[in-house]
Structures are given as C-alpha cells and as structure tokens.
Amino acid sequence: MKSKGKIQYGQPNFQRIIKNIILILKIIPDAHITLRINFDESTLKVSNFDNVFKLIPKQYRRRVFISLQRVWQTVEKNESKSGNKELIQIRDSALNLGYSASETTQFHAGRAFKCYADRMYNTVIDYDGKVYKCTVNTHKEAGVLHDNGEIVWSRDTLTRLFSKAPFENKKCLSCKHLPICLNVCIQNTRGSSEVPERCALDYAEITVEDFIKSLLKNKVSVE
C-alpha cells in the first residue's frame, strides 16, 4: 500500500484503497486480502499503524493478512538476538485488533514458495509491454509479449530460475527451520550445494520463536 500514490486528477489514493478493500470484503464474503505495507526504519518510527488498522471495520479484519515487508534496498544483517521490537509491536497490535497472522519477509507458514513472484505463472508486464518475472530484476526481459496476447518465455531464464530450488543445499536440507523458511527467493539462488547464498536467520527481524508465538496467538484468537 503506497499512501503517497496518486489517482486520476492528482488526488491521494490512500482513502480510495481503504474504501475499495472494505467494499471487496463486504461484497465477497469469502474474499481474503493481503494488505502489504512496505517499511524502512523511519516508517516504523513515524507512522501510526494503529490508526490505519482501525480504518477497516472489525467484522472484516479476520480476512485481512497484514504483510509487513521491508524495502529490499534497506535489508541488512541483523545482529540483534531479540529481533526488531518496533516491528514485533506493530505485528502484535495488528493481531490484537483482530487481523490474521501476517507474513514476514523471512518466515511464513504453509507456503510452497518464498515470494509470490517465485510462482511459475507470475508475470510482470511493464508499461512498455516488456515482460519480466520479478519487479526488482528488470535488467533482462524474461519473455516477449506478442500482439495476440501470448507470452513466449525465455527458456534460458526459466531454466535458470526453476531448475534448482534455493534450499537445495546440505545446510538448508538439514535445517529444522526449512518448512517456515525455504531460504531465499529464486532470483537470488547462487548458493553452493553445501551452504545457502545467505541464511535467513542472519537477516530475520522477527525471531523464529516470536514468529511461532504469533502464529499460535492467531490460531487461538480464531478458535
């Protein structure tokens, strides 16, 4: 959700996004929404997330997953053993207000891919018709969009991305955190057959323990 975005005639689009989310939840009873909020250090400090969370009526919140995602350019090794307190506080606040357990950049439960862009049919079509697999890696096109709407993918690109899972290395395959981790996204698979490119534990802002506790908390509040 980009609160600085604009719609036609230059009006801020934040209120429109919230209004549309509520409309979807109201009109489609089985709709589930992932509300993605990108953050960096300053966002966590100056934004009042509770005020945003309170905009969606209580009866719909269970169907909304708050997804707090760090802006990838600001990802750094995390030396702290206790995690990012501000982030954990915001995540807990969302849970207390009735939202569903949110994803984290490093850990998630019940997903077969690290990032939504890892899915085989995920497609990014730019304003100029160029085709990519991911919004971050746009230095080389991944396919060509033809006039009839068909996309012909580059076999080389698909082979590079999908021939080996990022966690196919000795360390990840013997790691107890593998089911909630899956290592990095397919765009960053450069690790050896012994160790991953980088271990999620070194970058995690929410510890595995806190992540599991909030999953449990969410489950208990649903039942």
Task: Please give the residue ranges that form the binding site for ligand SF4 (CB under 6 A).
Answer: 167, 171-172, 175, 177-178, 181, 183, 196, 199-201
Closest separation in Å from C-beta 105 to ligand SF4: 12
d(CA 31, CA 39): 25
Closest separation in Å from C-beta 168 to ligand SF4: 10
Query: Residue 94 or residue 185: which is nearer to ligand SF4 going by CB?
Result: 185
Query: Residue 154 or residue 188: which is nearer to ligand SF4 going by CB?
Result: 188
Closest separation in Å from C-beta 81 to ligand SF4: 15
Q: Which residue is nearest to ligand SF4 (CB)?
A: 175
Query: Residue 97 or residue 175: which is nearer to ligand SF4 going by CB?
Result: 175
Closest separation in Å from C-beta 198 to ligand SF4: 7
Closest separation in Å from C-beta 83 to ligand SF4: 14
**Which among 133, 108, 141, 138 has a CA at the least distance from the CA of 186?**
133
Residues in a beta bridge with 67: 36
Query: Residue 100 or residue 169: which is nearer to ligand SF4 going by CB?
Result: 169
Query: Residue 56 or residue 182: which is nearer to ligand SF4 going by CB?
Result: 182
Give the side-chain half-sphere CA count within 13 A for 132: 14
Strands (E), 40-171: 64-70, 124-125, 131-132, 143-145, 151-153
Q: How many CB atoms lie within 10 A of CB 154?
A: 16
d(CA 60, CA 56): 7
Residues in a beta bridge with 37: 68
